[in-house]
Structure 1
Amino acid sequence: MAHMRSGALLTQVLSLTLLTWAAEDYDYYTWQADNVQSGHFHAKQPQCVDIPADLRLCHSVGYKRMRLPNLLEHESMQEVRQQAGSWVPLLAKRCHSNTQVFLCSLFAPVCLDQPIFPCRSLCEAVRNSCAPVMETYGFPWPEMLQCHKFPNDNDLCIPEQFAGQQVAPTPASEVCPPCDSELKTDTILDHFCASDFALKMKIKEVKKERNDRKVIAAQKKWKVLKAGELRRKDQKKLVLRIRNGADCTCAQLDSLEGSFLIMGRRVGQQMLLTTIHKWDKKSKELKFAIKRMKSHRCPIFHTVFQ
């Protein structure tokens, strides 16, 4: 069996794993003796473990087992859950068809005898499509995912899926990212965790300013669900921006009647709008999400985007 995990056969197995997502057919339980990865020493020997159902970023990736420690040097499943959970909102934005492939190759690497990193071209493709979405929320592309750190395509690495093919953009690409979220409990809670503050509020008016869209809150017409970085002086005249949102569509803002669920982040002196939903009293998903906000335990979102 050890000979089957080397050379050309390993490449063949990896190719099958990546192209058909059938990694569950190739469970490896023994590992090389060394425990040094990428120049870092790990106290624990690498092991093959089940991808837990609550690892939402990667549970649906297409294979069932992952290598731990992973390729981001997370040694415990608790740490993997905490850090990976912060990326679920980005995955929901569908900014690139390979986002989950790329992120899970690092957070939940497939079980092979040696670690297989994503190719540089895969990183660049995802970064080029998703970095603008992250910028909308005030996050730069993180240092830990700088593409020059990953191997060239002629090395053994995970390639871009659909490479060389024209992938049709989804209609959601024309929607402002904060306006493109499902009114589902889990999705609402993901964005709740990713935001500094959350409010139930009415909107006075919406204006365009250069490339941004400004959402101006109606005074004394709100309820604070999560205070976070929201200060008292901010509440006197709250203006939220949709960065680069002047020309994208936002159906929620077509009518300003009624109340809205608004979530946002402070970035410097600006308050960025991260999520907006109409406050639908009949929505069981919204009602359940609001109830769960009081006790929901969020991952440490800000530690990921550094």
Structure 2
Amino acid sequence: MTRSPLIIALLCALLAGCVSSPDSRPRGLIEAEQQLGQGARAFRDDDYRSAAALFRRALDYYRSIDDAHGQALALINLAETALAVDDRTAVRQHLAALAQLQPRLGESQLERRIGLLRARLLLREGHPAEAARLLDRLLADTEPIASKPGLLHLALLARRTEAALAENDLTTAQTLLQQLAPALERDATPSGLRARILRLQAALHARQGDPAGAEILLQQALTLAHRSRNRPAIAATLEELADLALKRKQPARAAELLERALPVRSRLLDQAALRRDLERLDRLYAQLGDETARRRIRAALAQLPASGEGARPELPAQAH
């Protein structure tokens, strides 16, 4: 999973019109906006627990003054944060609250951002066809102006490409990636989105029987993720490199890549992804006949919370 650039864009949209006369506004409103800003910074620093707490405080204030737009901003950010740690129950709760607010929001960018969140949850839960239909409707409402698609349009295109790949619709995926390609050359495109586009290109190459081309693209994505210190992108790219190594019958290489992903996932508090990587490593070390490594991995698995409470397990040190 990569961090969403939209969470910062939402904050900027909120604050842009509020800097001219800060002293004349209610203190609670100023504090709620500050909490959204602090939450956005915590999210950017991968401190999802603090981000969620700050967004909840802002939500409480906006509810106390019956501000539908402010509530929607806080709920969208809460849903983004829940997606970052794969807390699907929380995502569904936030989306349900947003659905109740939507009649009061009218036609707006917020409505399309809410739709994107729904599509991301559908993809996460293995419903690519339903996600594709929703994304097609959203894309029809966000046509780019003068061939320069905005951030929301690019994010929708990337998720639609993900849906096409999940359905093995390589023709559609290739067409969508051609539309996304110019964004790689623009400095204004967030690094996380650029890394995602490269990873989607790599997935297409791998499906088309070009593992060497996929490797090159994934290494480019990893370099970009390292340069921007983007932990979600780093973890996702390492995991996809491990997938590619397995397809190329390189289990030792796959294990090494997944070992590198473990401390990143642990820092992100993404228990579902961490468990998945540990279980894959357990199988890989069984295949490689490394019982010492298996014991280390199983010890880490035993420390994981049963229901993903968010505790960060201590990962036993890898033997060198």
Does the alignment reach a TM-score above 0.5? no
Q: TM-score, normalised by structure 1?
A: 0.28
Bigger relative contact order (CA 8 A; separation at least 6): 1
| Bigger fraction of residues in helix | 2
